[in-house]
Structure 1
Amino acid sequence: MLRSKTILVLVLTVSLVMGMFSFGFAAQKEFVAIATGGTGGTYYPLGGALAQLLSNYVEGLIVTAQTGNASIANCNLIGRGQIETAFSQANTTYWSYTATGILKDAQPITNLRGIASLYPETIHIIATKASGIKTVEDLRGKKVGVGAPNSGTAADAEIILNAHGLTFDDIKPDFLSFAEVAQRLIDGQIDAGFTTAGYPTSSVINIATKRDIVLVPISEEKMKELVEKIPYYGATVIPAGIYKGVDEPVPALATPALWICDAKLSPSLVYKMTKALWEHRDVLEKVHAKGKDITLETALDGMGIPLHPGAELYYKEVGLIK
């Protein structure tokens, strides 16, 4: 009987010790979130894939991707300490950090740090053929989805309109997410919409399968003017055949998509995340066509804010920074 009680005590003691060890291991887990964008854009699927990649290849790390209004809103989330990392356009990230450009009246968000430049985001201006819109000037007086509030898309829309002598007062603006822009165009409730995302993007594919569309081009003159004025813009072309009914290449503007973070994140953690991204980037290529554009050679393109020390250390190790 005594022997049985002794064995029972030993078993309970071992169980208690193992439980304490298990609790200790659980306590070592780190949790990080990535603020992405709407479900109809490119940020969301790539953000989900990146979260899974990091959770799989960085020991003790659990990463989740969250939908959001993207760019400016994401920078604000980091500024308020409400999220650890985010995707954001290069132009709006720089304006948020420096309180310049369209954010000149805001407070600078000085805790923004860069991890990587990912891929070029293209500004799509989608109109229904029935609207008769063929140029940016034709948007005057029309119902236009200009992106979600505090999004990079809304910033792009305002800049492009201004370059063509228009403001939001000259159109009937609707602040809508990518998915909402798509649905309103399909339903005939708006005439046109802006979507800044890596092509092909699901929301535009959705519109083109249900309505006859045109992609409104940026003229060569305005393209040159905007690229010279705003260094984080570049000229690009949306290839023919990417979307149903778009049979000719369409001149457009693009800006890099950045992965950014809070300066407070530990250098060790950011180093591990940066290393995991570049050692397993092929995972992203399987999720979205833009994954192939995520390359180490372009990892610093359009990086207008300071790199996080952890990311900087990795780039020095691989020779990208001397």
Structure 2
Amino acid sequence: MFNKKGFLVSALLLALSLFLIACGGGTADNDGGEEAEGEGDGQQFIQILTGGTEGTYYPLGGTFAQVINDNVDSVEANATSTGASVENMNSISSGDGEIAFTQTDIASYAAEGEVMFDEANEDFSAIGTLYPETIQIVTTKDSGIESVEDLEGKTVSVGAPGSGTNANADNILEVHGLDINEDITARDLDFGDSTTGIQDGTIDAAFITSGTPTGAVESLAASIDVNIVPIEPEKAQELMDQYSYYSEDEVPEGTYGLESAVPTVAVQAMLVAHNDLSEDLVYEMTKAIFDNTDQISHAKGEEISADTALEGVGIDIHPGAQKYFDEAGVSAE
């Protein structure tokens, strides 16, 4: 009798389970699938494209993701290591990320289909600029190179072909009356190989576009006296008149052992968003970042401010970001 009752109870429970499933009660597998897609509970997943793990974009992107997760409901943001600016623009275009770090000049080239981009990219717009990516022309004190014009006839690293550094070098040489292909012996080296080449004498100088102080240049300065070649204010202005994404900057006194500040120019590190993201979502994420800069656990957080976030943007602002800046009373000058 006990066994018969047990069997009847089990049968009833099984029937009830099947009934609930048929009525939409769901299964564990189905619930997990909805969460993975960001549906069901309204969760939206945001991939932040950054840069190499040894650079600035990647750790800064990680802290941005945390700030967004802490301050925006129903969003899960994650930072992904990438090849940085140029790769990020191509990835945004192909739908492989929602937010990306890039340089302002690279964003402009991507939007217009110029330099390293074969066609215009209309899939993204700006959230805002973050901090200067300073253009440093690095050499040694003993090189005799004191001006950009002194680079004529020298062996100079200009960054990898198609890189942001390469484009910066081309622009700067041009406003000084020099041709990157004719007036210097150009070498296509990354930052580490550039400073190694300066140290061993195989190159005379190197263009490096990076936030200061740059680790590779600090390492060089630890073993040899470094000189940063100035870009004088009148040439900086000429450059800014031709290309809206440049701004005046300097390498501060004491950096790399410099006895005084050196004038130069910079592009800006910036964030862009895919245009498929809604105005409300981009508004909330922009607000989260710029209203909570004290929560950015990275040294560059001290340079990030809503007040300067529209300087040197050079491309269209995402409507959601524009809504935030309008509320904050920030406008592009």
Note the C-alpha offset of 1:120: 2.2
Letter in 1 for 2:298: V
CA displacement 1:142-185 (0-9 Å, x = unmatched): 33221233222211111111112222222222223334434444
CA displacement 1:52-111 (0-9 Å, x = unmatched): 4334544341322323142x44333323434332222223322432346x57x9422222
Letter in 2 for 1:144: V
The 8 Å contact of residues 52 and 81 in structure 2, kept in 1 or not, is answered as: no
More displaced stretch, 160-169 vs 34-43: 34-43
The 8 Å contact of residues 114 and 260 in structure 1, kept in 2 or not, is answered as: yes
Structure-to-structure mapping, 1:116-265, within 5 angstroms: 116-169=128-181, 170-243=183-256, 245-265=257-277
Q: Distance in 2 between matches of 1:251 and 1:193?
A: 16
The 8 Å contact of residues 148 and 175 in structure 1, kept in 2 or not, is answered as: yes
Q: TM-score by structure 2 length? A: 0.80
Q: Distance in 2 between matches of 1:7 and 1:193?
A: 79
Task: Say if 2:301 is the partner of 1:287.
Answer: no
Letter in 1 for 2:160: A
Task: Say if 2:281 is the partner of 1:266.
Answer: no
Which residue does the alignment assign to 2:83? 68
2:90 match: secondary structure: helix
Which residue does the alignment assign to 1:300? 310
Q: Distance in 1 between matches of 2:51 and 2:266?
A: 17
Which residue does the alignment assign to 2:287? 275
The 8 Å contact of residues 41 and 202 in structure 1, kept in 2 or not, is answered as: no
Note the C-alpha offset of 1:186: 4.3
Note the C-alpha offset of 1:39: 5.2
The 8 Å contact of residues 48 and 77 in structure 2, kept in 1 or not, is answered as: no
Match of 1:21 among 21, 24, 31: 31
Note the C-alpha offset of 1:211: 3.0
Q: Percent identity?
A: 40
Q: CA RMSD in A?
A: 3.2
Letter in 2 for 1:190: I
Which residue does the alignment assign to 2:124? 112
Which residue does the alignment assign to 1:46? 60
1:117 match: secondary structure: strand
Q: Distance in 2 between matches of 1:108 and 1:219?
A: 33
Q: Distance in 2 between matches of 1:264 and 1:77?
A: 14
CA displacement 1:238-267 (0-9 Å, x = unmatched): 111122x21211011122222112212233
The 8 Å contact of residues 41 and 201 in structure 1, kept in 2 or not, is answered as: no
Note the C-alpha offset of 1:5: 4.2
Q: TM-score by structure 1 length? A: 0.82
Flag the 1:8–1:212 CA change in 2: closer, same or farther, 3 A. farther
Flag the 1:314–1:74 CA change in 2: closer, same or farther, 3 A. same
1:210 match: secondary structure: coil
Match of 2:323 among 310, 313, 316: 313
Structure with higher Rg: it is 2
Flag the 1:78–1:18 CA change in 2: closer, same or farther, 3 A. closer
Q: Distance in 1 between matches of 2:147 and 2:180?
A: 16
Flag the 1:42–1:21 CA change in 2: closer, same or farther, 3 A. closer
Q: Distance in 1 between matches of 2:200 and 2:13?
A: 70
Q: Aligned pairs, how many?
A: 315
Q: Distance in 1 between matches of 2:103 and 2:122?
A: 16
Note the C-alpha offset of 1:196: 1.6
